[in-house]
Chain A
Amino acid sequence: MVNIFNSWIFGKDIPIDLLSIFVLSLIGIFALRFYFINKEKKSNLYLALSFFMIALSFAFKILANYTAYSQTRFFEIIVSTFALKAHDALYFIGAFFYRSLMLIGLYFLYSIYQKKQNKASMIIIVFLILSSMYFTYNAYYIFHAASLIFLSLLTYEYFKNYKANKEITTHLLFYSFLIISISQVFFMFISLNQIFYAGAEIMQLFGYMLLLITFILVLKHSKKRK
């Protein structure tokens, strides 16, 4: 990854990732509650699982970034080879699970909107995601490109939903996914300049804040609706 770990940006991205975890978990908890009200409808359960998976992926991102940061700090003092290897392993675990859980979560979320869901092909895609994330460990942009594809497809689904059901909440949901999708373009270029990383994190912050506002409006509108 880029040398963002000893730059001014590092550390400031943790609250953004924590906010993302909070928003995703909150929506996931409500979706799970709705599933328990009507167990016949599985889409609420799948949405909850997808959001929990993406939230967990951000927890691994924090672990990976924190490990990389502390390793950079360790280089400033003399450390044993064993300590470095332990750090490498921890960073690999964090980065691998961050990327894999994010892509699987996005894929599951996208699958909700597909009429035909074939379990066998879902297993194959999950396997392909895991293996590609393992073998493209050093090519981080592959992960962001794959995230961009899934997020763009989801944004299009939410755009269609907004067109069919013109409400402020569907409009905001479309915009929040659009912003989160664009953030992936910025993430793809972080090796060029660390400003791309800052830009991507700020866009992620706006995207998830908009998602939180959307969710608050959903709860507020439900009280007014007859």
Chain B
Amino acid sequence: MARKRDRTDIVLDMLSSIQDKGGEIKPTHLMYKSNLSHNQMNLYLEELFQKDFVMKISKNKGQYLSITDKGREFMMKLREMKEFERTFGLE
């Protein structure tokens, strides 16, 4: 049975989804890709904006979410953490 995602799993999924789309993504796409409800996504996004991991940009008359360098760095740290926890059986 798949393990329930914790907070860091969700943040990692969100940042990875933006990164996989070339660093920019539409909010609705992010919602589907990270398997979150609209309200849940907004709560997490609020935190990501506060920490300067993600920023809003306007492009082609639409709103996009863009990952920052700080966000990319944090995503790498989270990946290291997940790999470490998987190896030592701490998940």
Contacts and interface: CB of A to CB of B under 8 A. Distances in A.
Interface of A: 30-31, 33-34, 37-38, 40-41, 43-44, 47, 112-113, 157-158, 160-161, 165, 167, 169-170, 173, 214, 218-219, 221-223, 225-226
B89 A158 contact: yes
Interface string B26-51: 00000000000000000000000000
Contacts of A160: 89
A34 B89 CA distance: 14
A108 to B, nearest CB: 14
A218 B90 contact: no
B7 A218 contact: no
B36 to A, nearest CB: 18
10 contacts: A34-B80, A40-B6, A41-B8, A41-B90, A44-B81, A44-B90, A214-B87, A222-B76, A222-B82, A223-B79
B86 A165 contact: yes
A47 B8 CA distance: 19
B90 to A, nearest CB: 4
B85 interface: yes
A2 B84 CA distance: 39
Nearest to B82: A222
B84 A218 contact: yes
Contact of B83 (A43, A47, A113, A221): A221
B78 A40 contact: no
B90 A47 contact: yes
Contacts of A218: 80, 83-84, 87
B89 A157 contact: yes
B16 A222 contact: no
Contact of A226 (B6, B8, B16, B87): B16
A38 B90 CA distance: 13
Contacts of A221: 83
A44 B86 CA distance: 12
B35 to A, nearest CB: 16
Contacts of A170: 86-87, 89
Contacts of B82: 222, 225
